[in-house]
């Protein structure tokens, strides 16, 4: 069991993942995490599939996976989002998801990424089931 599996708090698990990476991937994951929170202060952090950071607001917005050569942000409904800046560069063949692979040293278009986050929130909210009111 890794240290990221020792606690149930998703934010603490993401903190631990960032720390254990200890290289550019940890720094990049921390940076995109901060951008996600800046775009949507109401975002909820979760931890799924045995070690994947997930950001949600009325459903999954995106995941933050780390691989040897990339940090991958996978948008759950990315195929339904406008991407005028052309950030999506991975998982383009599917009908639902789209991803952004970020390689070491690559710049991030922060404004465009925040726009995608906000568009994903809006899409989730348009598909969300109405909350029941208590009588």
Domain parsing of the chain, residue ranges? 3-125
Answering whether pTM is above 0.95, one says no
Cα–Cα distance, 6 to 115 (Å, whole number): 34
CATH fold for the domain made of 3-125? 3.90.1150
Is 112 within 8 Å of 85 (Cβ atoms)? Answer: yes
Residue 83 burial (10 A CB sphere; 0-12, 13-18, 19+): middle
The confidence score (pLDDT) of residue 127 equals 85
How far from the centroid of its chain's Cα atoms is residue 12's Cα?
Answer: 16
Q: What is the CA radius of gyration of the chain?
A: 15
> Mind listing the pLDDT tens digit for each residue in 1-21?
344 444 589 999 999 999 999
């Amino acid at each position: 069991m890794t240290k990221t599996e020792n606690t149930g708090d998703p934010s603490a698990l993401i903190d631990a993942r960032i720390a254990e990476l200890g290289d550019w991937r940890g720094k990049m994951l921390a940076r995109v995490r901060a951008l996600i929170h800046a775009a949507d202060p109401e975002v909820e952090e979760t931890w799924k599939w045995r070690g994947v950071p997930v950001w949600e607001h009325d459903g999954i917005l995106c995941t933050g996976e780390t691989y040897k050569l990339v940090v991958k942000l996978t948008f759950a409904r990315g195929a339904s989002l406008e991407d005028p800046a052309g950030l999506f560069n991975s998982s383009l063949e599917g009908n639902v998801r789209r991803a952004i692979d970020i390689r070491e040293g690559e710049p991030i278009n922060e404004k465009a990424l925040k726009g995608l986050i906000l568009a994903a929130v809006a899409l989730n909210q348009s598909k969300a089931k109405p909350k029941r009111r208590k009588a």
